[in-house]
Amino acid sequence: MGRSLSRQAALVGLCLALLGNGRVLADPIAEFYRGKQVRLIVGAAVGGVYDIYARLLSRHLGRYIPGNPTIVVQFMPGAGSAQASTYATSIAPQDGTVLLNPLNSLPLVKVLGQINANIEPAEFNWIGNMTADTGDVIVSTRSPVKTIEDAKRIEVKMGATSPLALGGLYPKVMNRMLGTKFTVVAGYVGTANVELAIERGEVDGQAGGTWFKGQGTDYEWYQAGKIRVLVQIGYKAADLPDVPLLTELARSDDDRKLLELFSSPFVIGKPTAVGAKVPPERVAALRAAYKATMSDPAFLADADKAGATIVPALGGDLAGLIKRVMGLPDELVQRARAAAQP
């Protein structure tokens, strides 16, 4: 009897000790993040669409990370976001306190061999994607070209900022894989100047723009009857039901895989990642926080106010996509590189 009472007293004492010591029962993730500052490294310049999405995420994500850390945005443009990616996934602490928002074209340019940085996007721990985009290929209604089939017979001048930018890339790829007759006129400083060139009649159209339903220059031009949309890239827009998707124009299964690779920037959208060496339990916590943020009413209201479309993808799904588009056989990689050459 006395031994039983002693055992019970010991158990009660242990429970009281555990209850009195918050550190024993505390969530180790919350303990790690509490009072810390998490940096969100953005591989683009201040003032663009990546800025909008990064600041939006920074205002809400911390509420769902255990310990509620403060999130600050740091811009590190350059080299197609290779500089930011190298820093965030290799140089900065690999403990979950440094997040990365790279350009959505990073996996593509890595496959194409257009960056030499020692980074492997397929090995990143992808946290999620805030939105999937729809890219477009447009021509002015002044042009006799009405469909992509017409563009296989009639030369079309396409404005671009650079031969290596998406606006210069897609016409080359479509010429070589679909037989179109696009001519790239590159050298415009910024997309706004390409749009001005279309209005002036200097060029017929552009490729690689983003279709935003209800807003944006392309949408407004389309509603006003100033442009035609020949092709969609990435995801189909509900308000363009009769416009073909780039991957639907493939002539073979291998061509479809290549066009999926070239479409990947729009599917990847506005992604967030951490380095491959971040502890798995913190990656899981960040993914859970990201998922919760994407459906938070305050976040969605803030996004609507900022004009940011939210069509999220979860980290595991995004990681699978990136591994698939970057895992092409060498012969297809060589074809992709040849198609992207000037």
Confidence of residue 6 (pLDDT cuts 50, 70, 90): low
- Tell me if 121 sits within 8 A of 319, measured CB to CB: no
Asked if pLDDT for residue 24 goes beyond 60, the answer is: no
Q: Is 202 left (phi over 0), alpha (psi -120 to 50) or beta?
A: alpha
In this predicted model, what pLDDT tens digit does every residue of 257-315 receive, in sequence order? 999 999 999 999 999 999 999 999 999 999 999 999 999 999 999 999 988 889 898 88
Confidence of residue 5 (pLDDT cuts 50, 70, 90): very low
In this predicted model, what pLDDT tens digit does every residue of 127-149 receive, in sequence order? 999 998 899 999 999 999 999 99
Distance CA 213, CA 223 (A): 11
Asked if pLDDT for residue 175 goes beyond 60, the answer is: yes
Of the ranges 99-113, 257-271, 287-301, 327-341, the best mean pLDDT one: 287-301
Confidence of residue 22 (pLDDT cuts 50, 70, 90): very low
Distance CA 131, CA 237 (A): 13
**Average pLDDT over the chain, rounded to an integer:** 90
Distance CA 332, CA 205 (A): 29
Asked if pLDDT for residue 1 goes beyond 60, the answer is: no
Asked if pLDDT for residue 196 goes beyond 70, the answer is: yes
Domain ranges of the chain: 28-132+269-340, 134-264
CB under 8 Å to 121, separation ≥6 — which residues?
85, 102, 106, 107, 110, 273, 322, 326
Same fold, 28-132+269-340 and 134-264: yes
Q: What is the pTM of this model?
A: 0.82
Q: What is the percentage of the chain residues whose pLDDT exceeds 70?
A: 93
* Longest Cα separation, the chain: 100
Query: Which CATH code for domain 134-264?
Result: 3.40.190.10
pLDDT of residue 192: 85
CB under 8 Å to 70, separation ≥6 — which residues?
36, 37, 38, 62
Give the closest residue to 43 by CA, choosing from 100, 110, 128, 116: 100
Fold category of 28-132+269-340 in CATH: D-Maltodextrin-Binding Protein; domain 2 (3.40.190)
pLDDT of residue 25: 55
Distance CA 277, CA 257 (A): 30
pLDDT of residue 298: 97
In this predicted model, what pLDDT tens digit does every residue of 32-85 receive, in sequence order? 999 999 999 999 888 888 899 999 999 999 999 999 999 999 999 888 888 999
Confidence of residue 10 (pLDDT cuts 50, 70, 90): low
In this predicted model, what pLDDT tens digit does every residue of 201-259 receive, in sequence order? 999 999 998 888 777 889 899 999 999 999 999 988 888 999 999 999 999 999 999 99
pLDDT of residue 37: 97
pLDDT of residue 12: 52
